[in-house]
Structure 1
Amino acid sequence: MSSFSSYKPKKVLFIATRQIGDVLVTTPLISKARELWPEAEFHFMGYRGKLDMLKGNQDIAKIIETSDRPSFGEYLTLFFRLFQRYDLAFITQPSDRAYFYGSVAANKRVGVLGGHPQGLTELDRAKKSKSDKQNAWKKAICLHTVAVDYFHQHVITEKIRLLEAFCKTTADLFSKPISVTPPNGEAITPSIASKLQTTYVVVHPGPLTAYKRWPLAYWQTLITWMVAQGWQVVLSASPAKQDLQLNQDILSLLDDTTRKNVIDTAGQLTIPQAGTLIRTALAYVGVDTSITHLAAACNTPTIALFGPTPPSNFGPWPNGFIGEQPYQLKARSQTVGNITILQGPGECVPCRKAGCDDHVNSHSECLDQLEPTQVIEALQRITQK
């Protein structure tokens, strides 16, 4: 039994200073913490502009925003705002900055520790040794830590395991259905809503980084096939210039008949509005990005195209799954609940590198070889068409 299994904090801070998707995957941890401490007050700290995934979350009483590159003045303001205001801090990201915030905010802390992909090279061993040294002070200030495992531990399992210090056994945490909580929906922009037909599929081609992209010609083939089935296609995009341009590039490849049955949302939708759009879609197809996790959280039949990223670490969580690991590390196609994950071929899949050249603008051969026929077959299965 944990020595803290009877601990009842009154005020708790969750820290996720990273991207939009990283905020969303903390919601099962928050839900589990609420089960443990129904009377506690929960606050959440994250980067400004990255917290829309928490819109309307009933478990969060207050949201604290910070910039991703705070000035000295902002650090000072945060210090006085946070200083020992909490009984417990959950540090859900392994960065030094997140640990600094946690150490300032609470006298008890639990946190995620960074790791390194398992390998046998001298470089890998050197990096792991350096990581272990960097983690030493983080372990010292926490009553419990959970190490990242980029290949074999799902990120949601990683977050939930932060509660091990407060439960009798780890099995208690994974014996009931686990779900991701999406943001409350908001009304879709009228100019888009007025064009929606009864049966539509949402397609999100744009990832945060280029090495997660699927080839343009493949989107052309897939969208042309979907329109031929009598479905409308709604192209989703963030307001980022590269996403808007990507959608325009895809549209430019479509023939006139197909293009007339495609709506480009052109970055006009907020995250909560995107949730509303996705909830009533026939299906969703997207790359490895935060909106794909949102689609899964909305319980819409979801097809996720994965390249270098291990689905066993960051595959969209199938709501209601019981257990610690929904996915295999490698499978050309695997379906759990409403989620289908497709991977390309190759012995190196998944490598967890930034594409074949290991930089953000690299291509990924595994995605180049994930052909449209594989996605079409998956769509036929999930729509029974």
Structure 2
Amino acid sequence: MANYQILTPKPARVLVIVMRYLGDVLLATPLIRSLRLAYPDAQLDVLLYDNTAAMLAGNKDIDAIISTPLRVNCKQYGVLIKRIFRRYDLVVVTQTGDRPFVYGLLAASTRVSVVPAKGLTGWWKRFFIQRWIEFDNDDTHTVLQNLKLADLLGIAKNFTVVPPQIDNSASVIPFAFLPDAYVVLHLFPQWTYKRWTLEGWLAIASYLNQLGFRVVLSGGGAQEELDYIANIAQQLPENTVNLSGQLSLAELTTIIAGAKLFIGPDTGITHLAAATAVPVIALYGPTNPVKWAPWPYGFAENNNPFNKVGCQKVNNINFIQGKAACVPCHKEGCEQHRQSYSQCLDTLSIKTIKSVIDELLLA
């Protein structure tokens, strides 16, 4: 990496554009922290989608969150453009898509961005940006990919993932009944191809109960997710706590931080759990862990924390990968669509998970 000088010394107004999923937003927080430390007096704003804004709740590094619908009408588009047009000295774009690219063009004359690799659709975007890095979907973790933008600006990198925070503990008082020894299970990723089996979750929840740990189920408010978790909850011991659909992301962060253990699939909430320092068992299948494994708490090295293949442990992350010759295939399941099954997850051993639980909770 070249030794870059800062493009705009001490910019007064900086905009970070992160327009994708919850996990993408959370994994941009080390970059946001780096910008805040480099420009302590700047107005630092973030532009993202409405449905991901909660991931930045309580983040003290940010002055303003600008959120926009995933699908905008002409009026909404006009309001947004009026708010950002040439309002910033520096724009930092973390995605390669057309929409964040256009917003970046409009918001400032000085821009750094991630761009598609040369030869791919959109590779020409680099000609409209002062400095850029190519998107790497294979060999660079998302946190490190984002921090390469800090390199472009010539500023120091900070590796801290910052989870959402509540301003005080009042909002979790209704859940103060939780015992000292509980484990949070997050059962439901957004896409089917990332799901573990119903039988597996039932077995693990029952095992934890046998060990004397209260099981707490977390989940979002979508009806399919609520129904899925309710179906599992009614098959578990009566002392199981089902909090699905009842918590904000900031409140969930507080609940997870108080747990003895978190177990979850390849989803944004597992990334969130990793940032709380609680021990995490992450269940992965087709997804490339080099790029998308949870970022270990306290990991501050400029290299990927995980290898591409195999079960691994780094700091608080116990990464469990399904076994198959094709893993990780980087595809959306065996049928290559989001509602597909993934054989590597369907055959992921309950015994393997129990063994890791024993190491973490009984040692």
Same-fold call, TM cutoff 0.5: yes
In the alignment, what sits opposite 1:147?
Answer: 134
The correspondence for 2:162, drawn from 143, 161, 181, is 181
In the alignment, what sits opposite 2:272?
Answer: 294
In the alignment, what sits opposite 2:334?
Answer: 356
* C-alpha deviation, 1:281, in angstroms: 0.2
- Between the aligned partners of 2:300 and 2:286, the Cα distance in structure 1 is 26
* C-alpha deviation, 1:7, in angstroms: 2.6
Any idea what SS the aligned residue of 1:214 has?
coil
Contact 1:187 1:276 in 2 (8 A): no
Alignment partner of 1:210 is 2:192: yes
* C-alpha deviation, 1:252, in angstroms: 4.0
Alignment partner of 1:158 is 2:145: yes
Contact 1:178 1:319 in 2 (8 A): no
In the alignment, what sits opposite 2:109?
Answer: 107
In the alignment, what sits opposite 2:209?
Answer: 227
Any idea what SS the aligned residue of 1:76 has?
helix
Task: Show structure 2 runs of 5+ residues with no match.
Answer: none
In the alignment, what sits opposite 1:118?
Answer: none
- CA change 1:191–1:8 in 2 (3 A) is closer
- The residue correspondences of 1:191-202 to structure 2 (distance < 5 A) are 191-194=174-177, 196-202=178-184
In the alignment, what sits opposite 1:370?
Answer: 348
Alignment partner of 1:66 is 2:72: no
Contact 1:188 1:276 in 2 (8 A): no
* C-alpha deviation, 1:162, in angstroms: 0.6
Contact 2:18 2:95 in 1 (8 A): yes
- The residue correspondences of 1:1-385 to structure 2 (distance < 5 A) are 1-4=3-6, 7-114=9-116, 129=119, 131=120, 133-136=121-124, 138-167=125-154, 173=157, 178-185=159-166, 186-188=169-171, 191-194=174-177, 196-254=178-236, 259-323=237-301, 324-331=303-310, 333-385=311-363
- Between the aligned partners of 2:186 and 2:257, the Cα distance in structure 1 is 14
Task: Provide, for residues 295-318 of structure 1, a one-character-per-residue CA deviation record: whole Å limited to 9, x for no partner.
Answer: 111111111101111111011111
Amino acid at match of 1:143: Q
Contact 2:264 2:270 in 1 (8 A): yes
In the alignment, what sits opposite 1:121?
Answer: none
In the alignment, what sits opposite 1:122?
Answer: none
Contact 1:275 1:294 in 2 (8 A): yes
Task: Provide, for residues 194-227 of structure 1, a one-character-per-residue CA deviation record: whole Å limited to 9, x for no partner.
Answer: 3x12200000010010100001001111111100
TM-score, normalising length: structure 1: 0.89
- CA change 1:188–1:311 in 2 (3 A) is farther
Q: CA RMSD in A?
A: 1.7
Task: Provide, for residues 15-48 of structure 1, a one-character-per-residue CA deviation record: whole Å limited to 9, x for no partner.
Answer: 1112222111111001111222222220011111
* C-alpha deviation, 1:187, in angstroms: 4.0
Task: Provide, for residues 315-337 of structure 1, a one-character-per-residue CA deviation record: whole Å limited to 9, x for no partner.
Answer: 11112212221111111x21111
TM-score, normalising length: structure 2: 0.94
Any idea what SS the aligned residue of 1:49 has?
helix
In the alignment, what sits opposite 1:119?
Answer: none
Amino acid at match of 1:151: D
- Between the aligned partners of 1:373 and 1:72, the Cα distance in structure 2 is 54
* C-alpha deviation, 1:189, in angstroms: 5.0
Any idea what SS the aligned residue of 1:341 has?
strand
Contact 2:5 2:154 in 1 (8 A): no
* C-alpha deviation, 1:266, in angstroms: 2.6
Amino acid at match of 1:209: W
Amino acid at match of 2:159: I
- Between the aligned partners of 2:223 and 2:116, the Cα distance in structure 1 is 31
Amino acid at match of 2:142: V
Any idea what SS the aligned residue of 2:282 has?
strand
In the alignment, what sits opposite 1:123?
Answer: none
Amino acid at match of 2:107: A
- Between the aligned partners of 2:4 and 2:247, the Cα distance in structure 1 is 45
